[in-house]
Amino acid sequence: MTTAPPADKNGNETGKKARFPSLAPVHSLLAGWAGLALWLLLLLLLALYPYTGVSSLALLVGSQIFVLVTLASNWNLIGGMTGYVDFGHAVFFGVGAYIMAILVTGAPLLISPQWGFWQALPASGAAAALFALLIGLPTLRLKGPYFSIAMLGTLVAMREIVRVSRPITGGGIGLNLPPVLNRIGDYYLMLAIMGLVVSLIWWIQRSEFGQSLIAIREDEVGAEMRGINTTLHKIAAFMIAAFFTGIVGGFWAWQNTFIDPDGVFVETRTVEMVMMSMLGGLGTVWGPPLGAVAIYLLQNLLWSNLFELHLLALGVLLVLIVLFMPEGILGTLGDRSSTSLGRLLARFGRNR
Amino acid sequence: MAIENANGLPPSTPMASDQQPLLEGRTVSKYFGGLAAVNNVDFAVYPGEIVGLIGPNGSGKTTLFDCLSRLQKIDGGKITFKGRDVTRARPYQVARMGLSRTFQSVRVYRKMTVLRNMLISHQWRNTSLLHMLRPSPASTARRAHQLLDFLQIEHLAHEDAGHLSGGQRRLLEIGMALMPDPEILLLDEATSGVNPTLIETIKDRIRTLNQQGKTFLLIEHNINFIADLCSRVYVLNYGEKLAEGTPQEILQNEAVIDAYFGA
Ligand SMILES: Nc1ncnc2c1ncn2[C@@H]1O[C@H](COP(=O)(O)OP(=O)(O)OP(=O)(O)O)[C@@H](O)[C@H]1O
Ligand SMILES: [Mg+2]
């Protein structure tokens, strides 16, 4: 009797097809303590930076970059690590911004006295997280592109809802916040938020929770069948990402002193988050921050040289990233075989 | 070799009528549109048994597995595991109760290393929030290494699962299914695409684990594999139970020969 195995009709080699083949997430470089140490050192240097006697414009630029880094890192938690490509993540930014504006201006008659900034800021995050819970329960059941589109729809719908809810939100006219100019305060506050968020992502990525998110990204059915409560983990990741995005939205509203629906519920903000994460390396800890800085610098460069064509140039860039660097900067470097720098970094960084 | 946590029960004799089934399905039905993929199937696996599930392609074996492991909502019938009604449970819940399975189209986490695949497949039953906020503990890693060794893929521990060959991936998936120290393992075509030497290894491992008290339910097209291992076999055909009995009885059953081997 022979025991020849039956022909493999299941195509082991093809396996499960990726939801977004080109958005392939990758291993994290410097994911261990060395990475965290470098990060803390960088934060320290950034904290000392204002003492070098810089202009208030430099502080503004600094806080803007910190905003982008925080947004990209947050988006990466749900889009890169969990694999739920959220095309409407700016909705949490908008919710946070509006909660901040409503609370500090006492715009609706129902809230008085007005809240201070420091009470309103956590409320912005909490509101965004709550919104994520409500919206995530139905949308996180959807897979791949369906989730992405549902979130895009949520963003557009919220913009219109805010526009028509005039008594509370000021409608299309928007809301004016009390103008308080404190560049140095803004700089340090955003530095702290960014430091916290990126360190949190570093922590999550090492933890079993973070590994379970990656497992969900890689094979959700498999993860559920092996005892992971996938619904709970996805919702938790979604809420964490929404919380800090809401905080950033609240901060942005405060710093900008004016918000309207078209200014905060914008698709381009989501596109930015996606692009920054992808350029740096989806699912990695340090990729999205790196991508955020790169995109910011590039945007300014393009804007000052190409003016209104700069959006077109960014679009072209996105296409080029997907075509030639689908795993982003860190992913391309992290691939042990592709570059000598990558090999070096890999040897150095894979001490998890 | 001995695996940590495995309770060294002696192999029990199956089908003792006073024994309660470990996993039981009563009149389980599952329809896809008008197609009855599983139709009124009665089904029981007793503690310590190795039970086979065979049938032609498309006869509903995988669908029955999906129903038992709760991945598919069933349209009729009742499923009990360890005496508890799990008809409406979610997959992660039956997994935490002690049911593990593998998939016909292997499901591993391709962008994670073999070791990380194993680590994250630990028993989640008593995992506290605090535990989840930390990296996997050393005890989990120790068990993972032991199992990788047991399955002879320890040398691949730091390889990406996506880089493994089909057969190696099957072994990894079996390892992942063993990580939580389950009471019953449902293996869906564990030998498909695996070379004959490796099949002997898998067979040997299943026997060892069974002697340590683990119960098995195996979907197989490899009749020798079934005949060598199983004490009892169910045969499905067009979603219905065609026969059940010892491998010898099944191999002589006219209806089975017609359905399975006949033209
Ligand atoms: N998700 C689904 N939707 C619709 N029909 C399905 C689905 N899954 C399975 N079927 C159908 O149910 C029937 C049983 O399929 P199943 O995969 O259970 O067969 P099987 O016995 O495992 O076959 P094989 O030996 O080829 O693996 C088939 O006719 C199949 O086409
Ligand atoms: Mg099958």
Query: What are the pocket residues of ligand 1 if the criterion is a CB atom closer than 6 Å to any ligand atom?
Result: B 32, 35, 37, 55, 57-63, 104
What is the pLDDT at residue A311?
Answer: 74
DSSP A285: S
Domain boundaries, given as residue ranges, for chain B: 2-261
How much of chain B exceeds pLDDT 70, in percent? 92
Asked whether the beta carbons of residue B104 and residue A10 sit closer than 8 angstroms, the reply is yes
Closest by CA position to B190, among listed B209, B171, B212, B211:
B171
What is the pLDDT at residue A98?
Answer: 95
Closest by CA position to A215, among listed B102, B117, B135:
B117
pLDDT digits (tens, 9 = 90+) for B96-111: 999 999 999 999 999 8
Tokens of B207: 């026997």
What is the pLDDT at residue B122?
Answer: 94
- Position B177 confidence tier, pLDDT thresholds 50, 70, 90: very high
Contacts of B251 (CB under 8 A, 6+ apart): B223, B227, B257
CA–chain centroid gap for A92, Å, is: 11
Q: How close, in Å, is residue B261 to chain A by CA atoms?
A: 14
Q: Residue whose CA is closest, atom 7 of ligand 1?
A: B32
| Residue from B59, B73, B101, B104 to probe ligand 1 pocket by mutation (most atoms less than 8 Å from CB) | B59
Contacts of A157 (CB under 8 A, 6+ apart): none
Average pLDDT over residues B220-226: 88
- Number of Cβ within a 10 Å radius of residue A240: 21
Ligand 1 center–CA B54 separation, angstroms? 13
Rounded Cα distance between B253 and B247, Å, is: 10
Residues of chain B contacting residue A214, judged by C-beta atoms under 8 Å apart: 109, 111-112, 120
Closest by CA position to A244, among listed A218, A217, A273:
A273
Average pLDDT over residues B57-72: 94
Q: Residue whose CA is closest, atom 1 of ligand 1?
A: B32
Average pLDDT over residues B229-240: 93
Select from B92, B125, B187 the residue whose CB has the most chain A CBs within 10 Å, as the one to mutate to test that interface.
B92
Domain boundaries, given as residue ranges, for chain A: 23-348
Rounded Cα distance between B133 and A239, Å, is: 16
Q: CA B143 → CA B4, B154, B179, distances in Å?
A: 7, 12, 7
Question: Is the predicted pLDDT of residue B7 greater than 50, yes or no?
Answer: no
Strands B215-219 and B35-45 come out as unpaired
Ligand 2 center–CA A349 separation, angstroms? 42
Q: Judge whether A118 and A124 are in contact, CB under 8 Å.
A: no
Residues of chain B contacting residue A330, judged by C-beta atoms under 8 Å apart: none
Q: What is the pLDDT along chain A (352 residues), one digit of tens a residue?
A: 333 333 333 333 333 333 443 344 445 567 778 889 999 999 999 999 999 888 889 999 999 999 999 999 999 999 999 999 999 999 999 999 999 999 888 755 555 566 788 989 999 999 999 999 999 999 999 988 899 999 999 999 999 999 998 888 888 888 888 888 888 999 999 999 999 999 999 999 999 999 999 999 999 999 999 999 999 999 999 999 999 999 999 999 999 999 999 999 998 888 889 889 988 888 889 999 999 999 898 888 877 777 777 778 877 877 887 777 777 777 776 554 444 444 455 555 444 3
Residues of chain A contacting residue B69, judged by C-beta atoms under 8 Å apart: 225
Rounded Cα distance between A177 and A61, Å, is: 21
Which class is domain A23-348?
mainly alpha
Q: How close, in Å, is residue B9 to chain A by CA atoms?
A: 24
Ligand 1 center–CA B239 separation, angstroms? 9
Ligand 2 center–CA B5 separation, angstroms? 31
For domain B2-261, give the CATH number: 3.40.50.300
- Position B17 confidence tier, pLDDT thresholds 50, 70, 90: low
